[in-house]
Amino acid sequence: MIECKAAGDFTNTNKRQKEEGQKGRQLRTAFGGTLVYLLFICGYFGKRYLQYEADEGFDWIWEHRLSDMDELGL
């Protein structure tokens, strides 16, 4: 599963972190441990946001690094 995220500033991303963590846990419960959940991110995402997402088990692909999708076979 790939979810697209865009942020115009760092403040907006910090507000959504806990919601995304909860959503990820719900998706894993519904689909099991084989679910691959990636964030396709565009805009301003700071280290704090990325660390939180990594701690929740999410990975991400930056808008300017589409070739990363090829490496993942997407």
- pLDDT tens digits, 29-73: 898 878 888 889 898 888 888 888 888 888 889 888 888 888 888
Q: For residue 45, what are the contacts with CB-CB under 8 A and spacing of at least 6?
A: 5, 7, 10, 13, 60
CA distances from 42 to 7, 28, 55 (A): 7, 24, 20
Q: What's the predicted TM-score (pTM) here?
A: 0.75
Question: For the chain, what is the domain count?
Answer: 1
Closest-CA residue to 27 (of 57, 5, 54): 57
Q: How confident is the model at residue 14 (pLDDT cuts 50, 70, 90)?
A: low
Closest-CA residue to 41 (of 64, 16, 19, 24): 64
Range of the domain at 39: 2-71
With 80 as the cut, is the pLDDT of residue 17 above it? no
Predicted confidence at residue 12, as pLDDT, reads 65
